[in-house]
């Protein structure tokens, strides 16, 4: 199966809204339905991991965890941190911000799930760049701790991930990104394309 996995090329496009579109391309035809189904499952898992990574990365780099305009929320000062709490139905979201407004952690609680996300940042040429995040997910089925770390490099003046590692329990998976490029659009053009 290894030659068929090595032949797979994953493509990621992150739009102006921060949402990734993940696809793959392969040139080899699997020799059997069993191999084809195994590849489909593995490639689907990789695409899901890559998509999840880019959703979080783009949120930390270019998005915001602040409540949407017109929403109801509470803001409190807690030991020098700004804590924003928002409730939507049975879901409670809490974002803690440092004095420089960097995210310290994000907590989401619902009747069946508790999640905590803690990003890590580094200063790079006067800007905060996300270097990874840890997360804890508690469900009735149990707890899952995940740690993601990444390296980035400038591509056409924009910091992009060049590699990332995801650790779940004692298992680590690495992803290396090549042939990265940036296509910049004006804010007006991005708004036109948004649904």
Summarised one tens digit per residue, pLDDT across range 16-71 is 777 888 988 888 888 899 988 998 999 998 899 999 999 899 888 887 778 888 88
Query: pLDDT tens digit string along 90-140?
Result: 999 999 999 988 899 999 999 999 999 999 999 888 888 899 999 999 999
Q: Is residue 78 part of a domain?
A: no
- Count up the domains in the chain and report the number: 1
Paired with 105 in beta bridges are 96
| Torsion, Cα of 94, 99, 103, 104 (10° steps) | -80
Q: Is the pLDDT of residue 192 over 70?
A: no
Global confidence as pTM: 0.80
Nearest to 6 by CA among 32, 54, 43, 60: 43
Query: pLDDT tens digit string along 142-153?
Result: 999 999 999 998
Q: Is the pLDDT of residue 170 over 80?
A: yes
HEC secondary structure over the chain? CHHHHHCCEEEEEECCCCCEEEEEECCCCCCCHHHHHHHHHHHHHHHHHHHHHHHHHHHHHHCCCCCCCCCCCEEEEECCEEEEEEEECCEEEEEEECCCCCEEEEEEECCCCEEEEEEEEEEECCEEEEEEEEEEEEECCEEEEEEEEEEEEEECCEEEEEEEEEEECCEEEEEECCCCCCCCCCHHHHHHHCC
Query: pLDDT tens digit string along 80-91?
Result: 999 999 999 999
Q: What is the pLDDT of residue 110?
A: 96
Q: Is residue 179 part of a domain?
A: yes
Q: What is the pLDDT of residue 188?
A: 63
* Number of CB atoms found within 10 A of residue 31's CB: 10
Q: Is residue 75 part of a domain?
A: no
Q: Is residue 106 part of a domain?
A: no
Q: Is residue 165 part of a domain?
A: yes
Q: Is residue 74 part of a domain?
A: no
Can you give the residue range of the structural domain that contains 38? 2-63+112-193
Q: Is residue 99 part of a domain?
A: no
Q: Is residue 25 part of a domain?
A: yes
């Amino acid at each position: 199966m290894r030659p068929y996995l090595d032949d797979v090329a994953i493509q990621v496009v992150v739009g102006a809204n921060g949402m990734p579109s993940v696809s793959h391309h392969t040139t080899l035809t699997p020799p059997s339905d069993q191999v084809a189904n195994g590849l489909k499952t593995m490639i689907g898992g990789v695409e899901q991991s890559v998509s999840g990574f880019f959703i979080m990365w783009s949120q930390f780099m270019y998005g915001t965890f602040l409540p949407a305009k017109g929403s109801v929320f509470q803001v409190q000062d807690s030991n020098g941190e700004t804590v924003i709490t928002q409730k939507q139905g049975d879901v409670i979201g809490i974002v803690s911000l440092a004095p420089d407004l960097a995210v310290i952690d994000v907590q989401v609680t619902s009747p069946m799930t508790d999640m905590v996300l803690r990003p890590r940042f580094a200063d790079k040429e006067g800007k905060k760049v996300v270097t990874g995040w840890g997360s804890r997910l508690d469900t009735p089925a149990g707890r899952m701790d995940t740690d993601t770390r990444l390296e980035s490099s400038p591509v056409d003046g924009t910091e992009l991930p060049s590699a990332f590692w995801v650790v779940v329990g004692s298992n680590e998976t690495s992803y290396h990104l090549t042939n990265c490029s940036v296509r910049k659009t004006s804010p007006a053009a991005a708004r036109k394309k948004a649904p």
